Amino acid sequence: MRLIVKKIFRDKTDHVTVYEPGSILEMDDQARASDLIVRGLCAEHKDKSDASVASAEVVKQAVVKPKVRKS
């Protein structure tokens, strides 16, 4: 499911990734997508054409490991 971000928020799992308004978020988890829509953080992106996402940043939800600083 594709969502468009309406309000800035942080990723639930890594707490580092920030989703900016206007970004397109691609998500497989229907329960999580519904939660984001109900909370007003995202809206369903209904336009499936590739031209509509050419100007927007598409963010795939994935597990991202934070970088470890070397002292």
**Which residues make Cβ contacts (< 8 Å) with residue 36, sequence separation at least 6?**
3, 9, 25, 42
Task: Report whether 24 contacts 45 (CB < 8 A).
Answer: yes
- The reported pLDDT for the residue numbered 52 is 46
Instruction: Give the DSSP letter of residue 12.
Output: T
- The reported pLDDT for the residue numbered 47 is 74
pLDDT along the chain (71 residues), means of 10: 93 90 91 95 80 49 53 57
- The reported pLDDT for the residue numbered 62 is 44
**Domain spans of the chain, in order of start:** 2-60
- The reported pLDDT for the residue numbered 71 is 57
- The reported pLDDT for the residue numbered 37 is 95
